[in-house]
Amino acid sequence: MCGIVAVSATRNVVDIIIHGLQTLEYRGYDSAGIAIICGDEIAIRKQAGKLSKLKQELLANPVTGNVGIGHTRWATHGEPTSANAHPHDSNNAIAVVHNGIIENYRPLREKLIAAGYEFKSETDTETLVHLVHHYQAQGNSFSAASHRAIGELEGAYAVAITCMSDPDRIIAARKGSPLVVGLGEGENYVASDVQALINETNQFYYLEEGDVVEITQTSCDIYDQDGNAVERELKTVNLSSDALTKDGYAHYMLKEIHEQPTAVANTIADRLYNDKISKYFIDKDTAAILEQVENIHIIACGTSYHAGLVARYWLEAITEIPTQVEIASEYRYRKPVVPKNTLFLTISQSGETADSLAALRYAKGAGYLSTFAVCNVANSSLDRETDVCFLTHAGPEIGVASTKALTTQLSVLALITLKLAELKNVDEKIRKNLAKQLRTLPGIINQSLLLNDQIKVIAKRIVKRDNALFLGRGVHYPIALEGALKLKEISYIHAEGYPAGELKHGPLALVDEKMPVIAVCPNDALLEKLESNIEEVRARGGELYAFVDHKSQHGLKDRVDHLIEMEASGTFTSPIVFNVPLQLLSYHVAVLRGTDVDQPRNLAKSVTVE
């Protein structure tokens, strides 16, 4: 959440910053602003609302300069108003932008008020800018004052600071919130994400926890949390700016739904060969770790948590390895029991999810056999800090509601399951059948996208409702959870996912003619049980929508209001396939309701604070 772009150059930086902020809109925000060193002042322009309002402000009151910082804010302390928008300044001598939360801002604020500083906002961020000014007023250089102030902060943050007395220099720091440094010719940059700068450079440093960086047009100096000058590895990032466009689709989400066949193909490429796991999937050291695994703990948030729930069914049914799945924000605040030879596995699209990273850092000292991760972003904090990271190769995901991230996460988790099955000497015929299902998955997903027009029809009915129930059983129960999450995320319709067998334990009380019930009906051993649960809904007048594998001998044709028949491949990969039409359903309902599909209210793409 939130986005930072900062530039020190020999040309006007306003357009660079604004374009960078545009590419970070996917992260979620409710105000935007910039601060530019402009002659004898720091010119600040900021507005509540979307970036378009800031652009209008810049047209009415233009500003130019060679050094500046910009920000898209997602409100935490203080409402999303222009006064609370970043940047914040202190006596027009220092300006700062900040992602995250300064947990000790109250005592710092009281100290600064006692020193005579007046606060103009409700934010924790304004504390930092006055603190830097306070230390500079005591005779410290901009650099020394900034390092001292940053050293007093508690919490998670990424900051960028600029100063009138040292107008070419930008100082930035990170702790618990991502920040990258881009190198150019005669100019240097800082941003929350490489995507913000990909039009300017492909050369990046990824700052580590506690790092502070100072950039000018011609220099870049990085210091660790102890103040020591350090070298970080310079990375070349091969990311096309075309990947960040809608490419003719109405929304990023729709584009990303349709990218799933390619994303899965890219994810499994070179990892499967001849219907078995390729030798290139893992190295010998990783295989040696997996051979020792007796238990698995999977930790994640949101959609990634649902991926973990599916993986639990796979791992226990196929490899007989006991597996627990837990929400990261709960796991990190209790004392979990770690049995001998337990593998810790965390899942995150961005690799910067605060709760998942905190769980990983806890796990490092909790006695786990090893820490593994599944992630979509190379060089993210999760990728760098875990022992072994499996990248999903989904490409950039801009829409806040995860689609291809989940599909590719499940593809990687399926690969891990197959590798463990091999190491556990599961029957080779079984393994080959499962691998074949995975190999043919991109084509099956592509077929499911052909259901789009049918799904549009049922979306017109569901859009009129205020609630919805999603039902699934076994490995498809997490898919029901995910379907409900997507609908509520982007359409704002209240939706809940339930294991169908739980209906009579409470949720059945909600069912009437105004309650749409969406059932995931795969061709598996639980189909008859699910049909019985559907009868319970039908008897109470519920409006039934069933997504059914056409290969199954189901008896639902005359028993549900709307039947969507589909090719769901085998029982191993069918959760991945069933997920796709549910994504399309949520998308079309949201479009009909006129909501902001790509940037739903109150949500952020990358949750980098608790």
- Which residue in 46, 175, 488, 605 is the catalytic one? 605
pLDDT in tens, 152-166: 999 888 999 999 999
Q: What is the pLDDT of residue 100?
A: 84
In 76-122, where does DSSP find H-type helix? Answer: 105-114
Beta bridge partners of 296: 323, 343
The letter for the amino acid at 508 is L
Distance, in Å, from the CA atom of 531 to the CA atom of 529, rounded to the nearest integer, reads 5
- Tell me the angle at which helices 105-114 and 125-137 cross, rounded to the nearest 10 degrees: 40
Q: What is the pLDDT of residue 429?
A: 94
Known catalytic residue at 375:
no
The position carrying tokens 């990023």 is: 252
Return the sign of the alpha-carbon dihedral for residues 313, 318, 322, 324: negative
Q: What is the pLDDT of residue 569?
A: 73
Q: Name which of 280, 396, 296, 398 is nearest 347 in CA terms.
A: 296
Q: Which residues, 6 or more positions from 13, have their beta carbon under 8 angstroms from its beta carbon?
A: 7, 36, 65, 66, 67, 68, 187
Known catalytic residue at 605:
yes
Using CA atoms of 486, 491, 496, 500 in order, give the dihedral in degrees to the nearest 10: -70
CA distances to 52, 148, 369, 569 from 606, in Å:
22, 29, 28, 32
Q: What is the pLDDT of residue 71?
A: 94
Helix (H, G, I), strand (E, B) or coil at 523: coil
Return the sign of the alpha-carbon dihedral for residues 317, 322, 326, 328: negative
Q: Where are the beta strands (DSSP E) in 333-438?
A: 342-348, 370-375, 388-391
pTM of the predicted model, to two decimals? 0.81
Q: Name which of 189, 194, 198, 209 is nearest 240 in CA terms.
A: 198
Distance, in Å, from the CA atom of 133 to the CA atom of 565, rounded to the nearest integer, reads 65
Distance, in Å, from the CA atom of 305 to the CA atom of 300, rounded to the nearest integer, reads 5
- Which residue in 2, 163, 220, 389 is the catalytic one? 2
Q: What is the pLDDT of residue 524?
A: 73
Q: What H or E segment, with its residue span, contains residue 183?
A: strand 180-183
Q: What is the pLDDT of residue 155?
A: 86
Q: What is the pLDDT of residue 610?
A: 58
Q: Determine what percent of the chain falls in helix, strand and coil, rounding each to the nearest 5.
A: 40, 25, 35
Note the Cα 258 to chain centre separation in Å: 19
Distance, in Å, from the CA atom of 431 to the CA atom of 570, rounded to the nearest integer, reads 13
Q: What H or E segment, with its residue span, contains residue 158?
A: strand 155-163
pLDDT in tens, 84-113: 888 999 999 999 999 888 989 999 999 999
- In this structure, how many other beta carbons lie within 10 angstroms of the beta carbon of residue 597? 23
Largest CA-CA distance found in the chain, in angstroms, rounded: 82
Taking the chain (610 residues) in runs of 10, the rounded mean pLDDT of each run is 90 96 80 93 93 93 96 79 90 93 92 95 92 96 97 91 97 90 96 91 93 96 94 87 79 94 92 90 95 97 96 97 96 92 96 92 96 92 94 89 95 97 95 93 93 94 92 92 96 92 77 84 75 72 82 71 82 94 97 93 68
Q: What is the pLDDT of residue 75?
A: 72
Beta bridge partners of 519: 471, 546
Q: What H or E segment, with its residue span, contains residue 583?
A: helix 574-593
Q: Which two tokens stand for residue 551?
A: 């290969």
Annotate 446-471 with DSSP letters as a single string. Answer: HHHGGGHHHHHHHHHHHTT-SEEEEE
| Strand order across the beta sheet in which 31-38 lies | 41-48, 31-38, 67-73, 3-8, 188-191, 180-183, 203-206, 234-236
DSSP 504: G
